[in-house]
Amino acid sequence: MAAKRVLVVEDEKPLAHALELKLTHEGFVVTLADNGQAALDALEKGDFDVMLLDMMMPVMDGFYVLEEIKKHSKAAPTIFALSNLSLHDDKDRVIGMGAKKYFIKSETPLAVIVEEAIEEAAVE
């Protein structure tokens, strides 16, 4: 069975690296993108099972990435939104745009995010 692929879209390098290490350890093939445009470029080039998408980034934010995925009807991976904002409206908006879950980074241990990615990849 082929390794599951995950796209980590995160501009905070230490967090991106920590997610990469944990996911790689769990057997995922990890691609990193540090902004929304890099995420869309990666989606054009490859298929991913799961995407961890930061919502607040330079160049293009996660909201715009979700809009572009929806607009172009791309075969989207399962998307988990990551944010430091705990605004209920943002959570509802992101879920309405196609994200499966919304995690507040400062309140969610990395292990929980990784476990969710593993569980979702196992479903496919």
* Phi and psi torsions of 49, nearest 5°: -85, -35
Residue 17, pLDDT > 90, answer yes
- Domains present along the chain, CATH in parentheses: 5-123 (3.40.50.2300)
Q: Which residue type does 41 have?
A: D
Burial class (CB in 10 A: 0-12, 13-18, 19+), 110: middle
CA torsion angle 33 59 83 53 (round to 10): -30
Q: What does the pLDDT read at residue 74?
A: 60
Q: What does the pLDDT read at residue 84?
A: 84
Residue 49, pLDDT > 80, answer yes
The SS3 call for residue 81 is strand
Q: Is 9:38 a contact under the CB 8 Å cutoff? A: yes
Residue found by looking up tokens 């196992």 in the block: 122
Q: What does the pLDDT read at residue 58?
A: 83
Q: What does the pLDDT read at residue 75?
A: 65
Average pLDDT, the chain: 89
In DSSP terms, 53 is beta-bridged to 9, 81
Q: What does the pLDDT read at residue 102?
A: 92
What confidence tens digit (pLDDT) does each residue in 50-101 have? Answer: 999 999 998 899 999 999 988 876 667 889 999 887 777 888 889 998 899 9
**What is the rounded CA–CA span in Å between residue 76 and residue 104?**
22
Which bin fits 59, alpha (ψ -120 to 50), beta or left (φ > 0)? left
Determine how β-strand 5-9 pairs with β-strand 29-33: parallel
Residue 23, pLDDT > 90, answer yes
Q: What does the pLDDT read at residue 69?
A: 87
